[in-house]
Structure formats: C-alpha cells, structure tokens
Amino acid sequence: MRKSLMALFVMLLTVALPHRTLGQDKAVAMSFGDSTTELWNDIIKIMRPALKKEGFELIVDDPQFRVEQQVQDWKAWIAQGRVAAIMGWPINADALTPVTRQAHDAGIPVLGYAATWPGVSASLLTTPEADGRDFAKYATKWIKEKYSNKAVTVAVLTDEQNDLTRYRIEGIVKELNEDTPSVVIYKLSSFTREEGFNAAKQQMTAHPDTRVWLSYGNENVKGAYKALITSGVAKDDPEFFIAGMDVTNEDIDLISIPKSIYRMAFAFRSEVLAKANTALLVAAANRQPLKDVYVRPELVTPDNANGFYVGR
C-alpha cells in the first residue's frame, strides 16, 4: 500500500511541477531573419543535435524579416523562464537593444550572429569589408585574364539594410574600382531569389553586355543565374562570371557543372558557423567566460566544392 501511495505521489508531482524542473528542458534560442534562407537552415540542422548532446533543446523563431516580430519572440523567450541564452542575427540592431537589456536583467546572456550591439555578451563576427575585397579579387583576376583592359560591365547584387551586407558590398565595389578601373558597375538592389531574377532580367534588357555578376550572398545570385539561363546564356558560356559570398548544396551543384558560369563562391562552411554558434551558446548558458569569435570565408571552386556539401 505504501509503495502504491508513493508511486501515486510521484506521478502527481510529475504532472504538477513545471516541465523545466524535470532536468530535461534546458533550452537555448537561435534567432535568424526567417526560416527559408537555406544557409541559416543548414546551420540550425547542424546545431540542433550538437546542442542536444550538451543537454540543451534548440528553440528557433521565424520573424520573416519583421523586426517587431523578432522583438516579440525574444520577449516571449524571456518570459518563459526556460531559455538560458539567446543568439541572434539582428534584423535591426537598434530595435533589439531594449529587449537585449531585458534579457540581461533577467540573467539571460545575449549573443550576436555576424553583428554586435549594446548589451551583447559576445558575438560570432566576420570582417565584411575585407571579405568583400578578397572576394572581388578573384573576379578582377578573371576579368583581367579574360578581357584585359577592355571595358566590362559588372552587376553587383546589393542589399544595404544591415552592416554585414553593406560593408561586404563596399569592399566589393572598392576592390573592383581600384583593381580594374575599366569596369562599369551597376548596383542592383535585391535580397530574395525572385528579386535577383527580376533585377537580372531588367539589367540584361537595359545592358545586355553585362558579363560579371557578383553578390554579397547567394540567394539573389541564384535568381540572377536563372535569369541568365532562361534568357539563352549557356551554363558553360566562357564570357560570363557569376559568384557569391554564401554557399549551400544547391550553389555547389551549380559550381560543379563543367566550365560553369557560376564559377566560385567565397563563403563560410556551415559546419564552422554552426560549431562556433554552438560553443558560444553552451558557454553562455553555463555562465562560462565569453569572448568574440572571428571567422573568415574560404574559396569554393569546382576543384574543392565537394568538401563543402552539407549532409552528403
């Protein structure tokens, strides 16, 4: 009888106690701009099991690039009382500063992804202008070898709403102008694949001699690639050069086409980013010392592209 009563007591206690007290509900949160960007999804897929091994559930949101939604998501995480650390790519860093302060007051460290702002404990950071310059050097080398001193029209797909992309673009444009003064540069505002497609179609109509297409990322450049192919440009046309600064399996497939016009990427390995994010979140959640982590991109070409595949 005593054993039965004890078993009943334990069962009732288990139901009554908040779930987080069971020792199986420690959580950390990751906040990107949306849930459709391929690179971010690759990173999350790698982070989730790695964090589980460390005893943490990974919670994510989908603000769809709406800063007010990102702020509300973070406020909800703070209120839940089970999130031990938050890491995020800020849609608008200024708008996140107050909720970052709220997290700090609640004892929750906030980490930055590719950015920092007041109240952030540490960040995963890059050197975007230097990265943009180094990326553009590969393009200028190809332009010189292919066209010598002839005038060449270059399209740079841009999105300058945050520091990361703005500084990458500044680096790209500066390097192009300094290293190949004969180029004519057009900046095409685009973020999504659809916007890249539409921008490229308009550019090809207005300036059909555009031969070089560069992007601070990879989503819009895949749209530009599709626009070129559907307009009649061959996948291996020797006159064209396409490249971007992020890479996913789909980009690698295109780069790997023999003599592809999608010639290279200058990008971060998803595994490297995921590993750094995981280490920062675990350290923050366990209240260990924190410091910024810097990463640099790597050159991706047909010769080494297989080494960048995720999950293959």
Asked, colleague to colleague, whether 10-126+270-296 and 128-267 share their fold, the answer is yes
What's the pLDDT at 185? Answer: 98
CA dist 281 and 286 (Å) reads: 8
What's the pLDDT at 235? Answer: 98
Q: Domain 10-126+270-296 belongs to what topology? A: Rossmann fold (3.40.50)
Q: How far is CA 156 from the centre of its chain?
A: 18
CA dist 96 and 5 (Å) reads: 51
In sequence order, what are the residues at sequence separation of 6 or more whose Cβ sits closer than 8 angstroms to the Cβ of residue 167?
128, 129, 132
Q: Comparing C-alpha atoms, which of 43, 121, 41 is closest to residue 86?
A: 121
Q: Comparing C-alpha atoms, which of 279, 265, 271, 273 is closest to residue 295?
A: 273
What's the pLDDT at 3? Answer: 47
CA dist 99 and 104 (Å) reads: 9
The pLDDT tens digits of the residues spanning 248-302 come to 999 999 999 999 999 999 999 999 999 999 999 999 999 999 999 999 999 999 9
10: confidence class by pLDDT, cuts 50, 70, 90: very low
φ, ψ of residue 165 to 5 degrees: the values are -70, -35
What's the pLDDT at 20? Answer: 39
CA dist 270 and 178 (Å) reads: 31
Amino acid found at 153: T
Top CATH class of 128-267 equals alpha beta
Please report the sign of the dihedral spanned by the C-alpha atoms of residue 83, residue 275, residue 120, residue 191.
negative
CA distances from 288 to 53, 75, 207 (A): 18, 24, 55
Write the burial class of residue 162 (CB in 10 Å: 0-12 exposed, 13-18 middle, 19+ buried). middle
Q: Comparing C-alpha atoms, which of 170, 166, 225 is closest to residue 193?
A: 225
Q: Comparing C-alpha atoms, which of 284, 203, 295, 292 is closest to residue 242?
A: 203
Stretch 52-77: mean pLDDT: 97
Whether residue 84 contacts residue 60, with contact meaning beta carbons closer than 8 Å, is answered with no
CA dist 266 and 92 (Å) reads: 25
Q: What pTM did the predictor assign?
A: 0.84
- Output the six-digit token pair for 155: 């399209």
pLDDT at 15 over 50: no
Longest CA span, the chain:
94
- Provide the pairing of β-strand 298-300 with 293-294: unpaired
Secondary structure string (H, E, C) spanning 120-139: CCEEEECCHHHHHHHHHHHH
The pLDDT tens digits of the residues spanning 206-215 come to 999 999 999 9
Helix (H, G, I), strand (E, B) or coil at 23: coil
128: confidence class by pLDDT, cuts 50, 70, 90: very high
What's the pLDDT at 163? Answer: 86
Structural domain spans, the chain? 10-126+270-296, 128-267
